[in-house]
Each structure stands twice: as C-alpha cells, then as structure tokens.
Amino acid sequence: MEELLKYKGEAIERINIIGPNMIGPSSSHTAGALRIALLARKMVKGSIRKAEFVLYGSFARTYRGHGTDKALVAGILGFGTEDYRIRDSFEYARKAGLEYRFITNTEKKDIHPNTVAITITDTEGQTTVVVGESIGGGAAVIREINGVEIALSGEYNTILVKQRDKPGVLAHITRCLSDCQINIAFTKLYREKKGEIAYTIIETDEEITGEVIAAIEASGNIISATRIEL
C-alpha cells in the first residue's frame, strides 16, 4: 500500500515492504530454514523417523537464538511458516516419535552462509540427503539431493522425478504430462554419472494430479515421482 506523507512541507510516498507471513524473528533464519526442511520432507514419500541437520555459516553460529532449530524441525513435521506450533516443534516432534539432532560446521567456507544439509531416515530405513540454502526474504532453494546437484525452489507446481538414466525416460515423463493436458513451463534433468540415477524437475502451468503421478510411475525406469507443493 502506498501512502502520502508530509516531510518538510513536501508530499512523499511511503511504500510498505512486505515480507513473508511467518512465525519467528528472522525471514532467513526461520522462514527460509523451515522451507528447506519442508521441501526436504516432501521429497520423501514414506513416514520420517529421524532427521539430522548439519548447519553451516551463520546458521551454525546463531541457530538457537534465531529459532532456526525449531523451524527446521517444524518443516520436517510439515508445518507451514505461519503455523503457531513452530515455537513448540520440539514437543510436537517428541509426540510424533521423530528423532532429530543438530551438528554445526563452521570450518567449511566455500558455501552459502545460510546452508543446511538434512539427512532424513524413513521408517523403512531408507535415507535421503538434501542440501538447501535460505536465500533471503523467506525464500529457499534446494541445491543437492543424494549427492546430485539440482535447483528447486518449490515456488511453482513442481514434479520431482527420480529415475534410471536410460533412453526414452524423459520422453515418457513429458508424454504423460501432455496426455493429461498439462503444459510444461520449465524442465531440467540432473545426473551425477551417465547411466545411473538421475533427477528430473518439471514446473508446470497446471496443477499436478495423482493421475499424472501414477502415469509417470507406471514405467519400470521411474523410481519415484513426487509432487512438490508448499
């Protein structure tokens, strides 16, 4: 909203700068941290049993005072940035049977100052490692999953596909979207080595339905397809 104010007899405009709606003292250390953990949670299809957080840079130095620790646990529990339960997330984690621990690393310098690596273990013992950055204003970007460099913000309708790196797999994914009348706004494939595990991130104009996910996962070369919605 713009308002006209008087300063030394002259009319000036005051423009309100609007940040994220959130619980907590810092958009980068609270809301951004929570979004990283929430995105990480959405990459895991099973129930989560344990989460280990390795904090770097300013996260490592101030995570208790700025509530980063509670925000990260809240994200793993699936809480949003406006959820009043964030401040009591440790207690909710205890009730949910979620184990968690924090490790600080202040030695690594060649990294974004607000970075956290999250190792998630589900109830079947499968682990997923996600590295994310809080980039300011409550926004966050996932930079790595299981050692493969990616870029995922969760700002749009997004599908994350884990697949075998074989011919025709990407064509299968895009054909499934086309058959369901879903337009692709952005797509990129990420892989560490040829012929091994790859990840495809697709942002779409339309909402992604369960029908689309089921169609994509029908291929034997698809390990999983996950909707990323915040």
Determine the pLDDT at residue 26: 58
Rounded average pLDDT over 85-109: 94
Rounded average pLDDT over 30-43: 94
d(CA 80, CA 138): 12
Sequence ranges of the domains in the chain: 21-153, 157-230
- Contact call for residues 148 and 191 (beta carbons, < 8 A): yes
pTM given for the model: 0.83
d(CA 145, CA 117): 10
Q: Output the CA–CA distances (angstroms, integers) from residue 100 to 18, 57, 94, 141, 158, in the order listed.
A: 33, 20, 9, 22, 28
pLDDT digits (tens, 9 = 90+) for 168-187: 999 999 999 999 999 999 99
Q: Could you tell me the pLDDT band of residue 13, with boundaries at 50, 70 and 90? A: very low
Q: What is the CATH architecture of 157-230? A: 2-Layer Sandwich (3.30)
Instruction: Write down the CATH superfamily of domain 21-153.
Output: D-3-phosphoglycerate dehydrogenase; domain 3 (3.30.1330.90)
